[in-house]
Structure formats: structure tokens, C-alpha cells
Structure 1
Amino acid sequence: MKLKLYIFLLLLSTAVFSQQKQVETSIDTTKNKIGAEFKLTLKTVVSSKSKVVFPQLKNIGALEVIESYPIDTLKKNDQYELIKKYGLTQFDSGKYTIPSIKILIDKAPFLTDSLAVEVTNVKLDTLQQKMYEIKDITVVDNGLGDWWKYVLGILIILGIGAFVYWYIKKRQQKKIEEEVYKTPIEKATSLLNSLEKKELWQKGEIKEYYSELTDIARNYIEEAIQIPAMESTTSELIQGLKTASTKKKMSLSTETVENLERVLRQADLVKFAKSKPLEFEITEDRNKIQKAILTLDNAIPTEIPVEEEDLLLNEAQKQKQIQLQLKRKRNKRIITATATVVFLVTATTTYFIVTKGFNFVKDNVIGHPTKELLESDWVKSEYGNPGVLVETPKVLKRIDLTKTLPKEGLALVKEMQTFGYGSLIDNFSIMVSTLKYKQETQIDLAKSLEVTLKTIEAQGARNMIVKQEDFQTNEGITGIKGYGTFSNIDKNSKSSTKMYYEILLFTQDGGLQQIAIFHQEGDTYGNEIAERILNSVELKKASN
């Protein structure tokens, strides 16, 4: 909070706020019924050359302006008396303060006096009207009952179940499951048939087609002949194949090796040089790969025993398949466990929402800032001089404003102390201030309250509703209490929050004591905190 502005205005309001009385303020009545009109009259006497501007207002404090009357002008010698009237009303009973209004006379601001008014309820004539006993509360049957709550709970649970099923199914569809074949040639033949069924090149996906086609051939060579075909370039693969065929005594024709190399290089051009073969060329390349794989499989010596052939299988491929299966099982367990936890949490939350309401879940599961404050370990301490003894959920921190206030204001002050917790943008805040003057000063509590409210408005408060009443501590010390609501505007997000405030003001031996509490309107925990704080207030006499 802009405490600097607050203290400065407070000093001006109590000590140096006096100014030459240029505007007379009066009202036709200080006590009226709900909805009745108060006529606020402003008078000023100026020269014929002066320019006076009366503000056009929709509200004056908590009172609504129902009519702004035309300005009456009376000529007195070489001067003019200007009379401006406002018709005010209020539709809620209570004591209110009509705050000062700024009038511009030759562009210089002048403030009117603040006035206290009271709005009372309309009295009923109980002698002429027949009275009846108060009837019991009747529950209106709207035909819905509570069944909709259970239907809502069931729909939420079914929705969660459907989402979990869809999520698991989608995850399973995205995984490419690798089949385990008995022999490499069986796997290659099956993958070639599957590739043709996809019709990739017919759809224009030529690059993807050649990529899968050559991967099938490389996988077969790697598994059947045990050379690193997947990581090798085309030249390295062909050279490795020739070397392996010599060692294994494989009878490979030059045509078979050349056809395989031609297709691999064609695939390289498609993948890296954006080459686009014709349809008959694609068909020929596919047939060449299939023929090369069959030729290689037939060229592998058959005299190798089955047991030895099994030992020659790519151990890395086996391990890869084992790890893949383990990963699938682990993922399935994680998904199942997560889905179960989500289901249980959602079902439990839904049950409490249906049976106890959303606020119960929000406050006890999600958490509520003021609820945590209310349930914290409270501290009772004395602040300032004249001392204010008060119980709060958190210890108030001292705020030093002596270096930021104007020197002319500080010259009047003997001692000033301010303590606070939170700010207007928080869920809850409290401020305790005490002030002592060097010379005996008559303090107007109503005027001090008015300036405090103007300070709050300067910090972004809008649409402020003000009520005022007398307040007495448990020790019998009397002061005033201002309370009401306002809209707090966030300058960054432009959002609005409805706030409730309570301000206590006391004066003792020329000293001023103030307690200000702010929290969001409708916050039951904030109300309980404020009530507990106000009930704990004890005031000390000023010490020399």
C-alpha cells in the first residue's frame, strides 16, 4: 500500500489541512428515511471575472446523486454568489459521511466540508395493521430433487473412464510392435508384403517407400549375414557384403550385387536429392530387392548346423526385443496405476463436491489463504505509541516512512510508527498506525477517516461504499468505525476484486491510533479473522 501517501494525507488532515473557507457547505436535513432526498447546498462568493467549476458527480461518497440542480447566481455589488445544489439519496439504513468535494475557483482547488447524515428505516404502524405469526421456512419443490447430483457424478466418472480407455488405445496404436520371426527370410518376406499393402508410393510418399524398402533389405543382411548394414553407407555395405560372401563361401553373382547396389543408390537419391523415379522404375526396384534377398538367402551355406546358426543370430536384436517387451509391460503398469489413481481422486472429489459442495473441496483440498491464516498460531503484541495491543495471525512488521515523507509534515510530528501485514492486492491485510504531535492538536476523527478513504481510492479503489458508526473497546474507550466495500482494480490485468474494509480510529492525549483491515467480500474466513482482531483491540495511554 502507498503508506507514504497515506501518512502524508493523514498529517494534512489533522494538522495542516486548514485552508481559507471559500465554499460554504450545508444540508437541509441530517436525518432522513430510506430513499428520501438530501439536498446538499454549496455556496461561494467570487468576483465577476472568476471562473467556478462544480463537478458533475454520480455518487458523493456512499450517497447516490439523483439530481444535479442548475447553479443559481446572485449579484452582490461587484461580486457574485453562486449556489449549487445536489439531490442525494441512499437505500440502505445507517450512518454515512458526505465527503469533501473539490471545487475549482480560477483553476485553484477548494474543498467543501464533510457532513454526517443518517438514513433510517421506515417505521411501520403496527396498531392499524394486523400482525401474524412468522411462518416456518417452506422448501420449494422444483421437481428436480437431488437426483441430478448423482447423475452428474456418474457422468463425470464415465467420462474419466472413456478418456482413460481412449488414451491407452491411442498409445497402443502409436507403438510399432515388432514381430519375432523364426528366420530372417520369413521376416523380410512378411515386411515386403506389408509394405506393398500400405501403397505408399501410389499416395505420393515415395521417400517413405524407398526408406522402408531399403531398411527391410539392410535388416535382412544384418541379421542373416551378420554385417552392420543399418549403420553403413551404400559403398560400405556392398564392400562388406563382398567380404562376407568370400569368408562364408557364398556363391553370389555379380548381377545380384550390382542390382542391390543400384537400388540402394536410387534410394539415396530419393531421400537426399529429392529424386522422383517413374512408376515402372519403382516396381523394378522392389522386384530387384526381393530377388536380391531371396538370392542371398539361397547363397548362405546350408551345411551350418541349426544349433550353430542360432548362435550366430544377432544377439543385439534379441536383447532389443526383450527390452521392448519389458518396456511395454512397464508402460502398461504405469498407465494402469496412473489411471487408477486419477479415477479414485476424481471419484472422491466428485463425491465431496456433490455431498458437501465445491467450497468444501476448494478450502480443504486445494487450500484457502485466509483459512490458513485463521488456523495459524496467533500472536498478541503491542504496537506504536500510544500503544495498540491487538491479536493477529501474523506478527506485524515495522515500516519506516520517516525518510520518504515531506519535511514540512514531519516537522509537526513528535513520533510516528506504522506496522503492517499484506497489502490491498492480497487476500487479507492489516495495518496499525500511531501518531503523536509536538504540540497539542485537536484531531477530527471523521476528517481523518475521510482522508484515509481518499488514500485507499488513490491506490485503485473504486465504487466505494462508506458506513460510519461509533466504536467502543472492551475497556470503554470510544472512537469511530468506518466500514463498507469497494472494487479494487488491478492496473496490470484490469481485473476487479470486491473488497470489504473496516477502519478504527481513536484519539488520546493528542495522539492518533488507527487499525485498518481489508479482505475479499464474502470471504467467511476473512470475516472471522477481522472479528477476532477487532474484539482483541486494547488501547494504551500515550507515554511522554
Structure 2
Amino acid sequence: MIKLKKILFTFCLLLCANTFSQILSSTLEKKTLALGEVDSFVIKIDNLNNQKVSAAPKNELLPFHFEEIKDSVNARPNSYYRKVEFSVYDEGKFTIPELEFKVGDRVLKTISYEVEVVNTAQKTDAINDIMNNKDVELDMQDYWQLYKWYVLAALAVIATLIAIVIIVKYGKKTKDSPVVATNQTLKELESLRKKMYVEKGDFRSFYVELIDISRNFMTKQYHIPADVLLTDDLIDLMKRNNTISQENEKIIENVFMRGDRVKFAKTFPDEKTMEKDFADIKDFVKRSSKDLEFEKLRKDA
């Protein structure tokens, strides 16, 4: 009687273990594959009893050489189903190792599988094109579509080179032309007038700036070093050079000599004299173009 009870107890224990324990199974569809052929690997776990299954992430279950194409997972309260479709693109034998799946506190493992990959192509196999090559005639529109960016790039380079040549050749001449120098100096003289040195009786500041403007103008317009020469040397150079008309030479000589005397406090001009000197310099600037025209005619002759 006691022996029978032990047998019944053992039977019930085994029955409960099989009923409530998880069962893992795995299946590999094909163990020999051609290069690039698709195979499938299936894992099943039953009797989960609402326990969570933890495993490698999707598309990361198989080792390196196995190119996973599709990894689908179907998890239910009492079962887990995972199917991985894959291909191998290298010849040889490759192993799917034991893979771990954690169910609750238990770790279940699959068995390992060996997959052999073979190249089914033969060296003698003929390779045929799908269709023969065809000659296609291209018209002007087709050639334009093919080469338009090269043409546009070439035109852009040519236009850039032309612009650089024009700027280098004519830009400086325009900037330094007699008209530009005259207009710039007239603006500087107008700025000097607005400072009202004449009305304030500040004759020293008036003559210092008036002569500086005149010297810079002569340097640009006549290309003589008026900005660095002393007054006596500048007057002597003008008379020897004959570039400036005698009328303009006389104005420069009178104003510059008076400016030097004012600078060293040897004379104190009145308002009328200062206004006349300003007007004379302004007229000299305006008439300078005639000096240049005469000098050009003299050289051409």
C-alpha cells in the first residue's frame, strides 16, 4: 500500500512539472543552402503562464554571417513564437550557437545548428543578357541635357575672367580720373566751409586744412609730389614743369605762401582775404581739367 502511494505521488509530481514548466523547441528549415538562398529558423516556448520572455532584439538574434531578412515575434500570455528568415552570402559551414531566452527567472537555451552554404553556379554556365544592346540616336536636346552644366560652368568662368580684366584695366583709371579727383576735392572744400573757420576767425586751422586739401589734389590730379615738397620747392617745380597754367600757378603761390606765414604767426589775414583764397582754390580745382587737356595736346604735338 505504501509503495503504491509513492508511485502515485511521483506520477503526480511529474505531471505537474510537465504541466506548469516552460517547454522550448527550435526548428531549422534547411541545413544546406545555396548562396543567397532564404532559410528560416523558428523558436517556440509553451506554458509561459503570463511570464515575460527576454531575448536578443529583433534582427540581432543570429551571428554575423547570417543576413537576417525578416524577424517576426508573436508573444501571447501562454506562448512565444519567433521566426527569423535569413540568407548567407559566403561559402562554407556556419554555426547557429545555443541561443538564450529568459522566461521569468529561468534561462532556456536552444540547441546549436550547423548550416552549410554552397555555390551552385558552375564555371561553364553561360551568362546571357536579358536583351541585346541598342544604338540610340541623340538629338540636340539630349546633348544639351547631358552637357548643359559643363557649358554653364565654362560660361561662368569666362564671364568671371572678363569681369576681372575689366576691373583691373579700367577700374583704377575710373577711380583716379580727373573728374573723380575734382569732384572729391570740391566735396572736401565744401566740408571745410561748413566748419566755419572764417566766421570764427580761426585762420590758422582754415589755412592748414585748405593747403592740405590742395596738396592732396595736386598730387592726384597732376601726379607731382605736392604732398611732401616744401612750398618753395613746389613752386619751383610747377614753374619748371609747365603742367599747371600760369594763372593757376599764381593762385597756388599766393595762397601757399600766405598759409606758411599764417602757420608761423607772421601774418593775420582778415575775413575777406580768407574768403578770396578759398574761392581762388575752388576755381583752381574746377579749371584743373583744362590744364590737363592742354598738357595732353602739348605731348601729342
Interval containing the TM-score (normalised by the shorter chain): 0.3 to 0.5
The TM-score with structure 1 as length reference comes to 0.26
The TM-score with structure 2 as length reference comes to 0.41
More strand by share: 1
Q: Which has the larger radius of gyration?
A: 2
More helix by share: 2
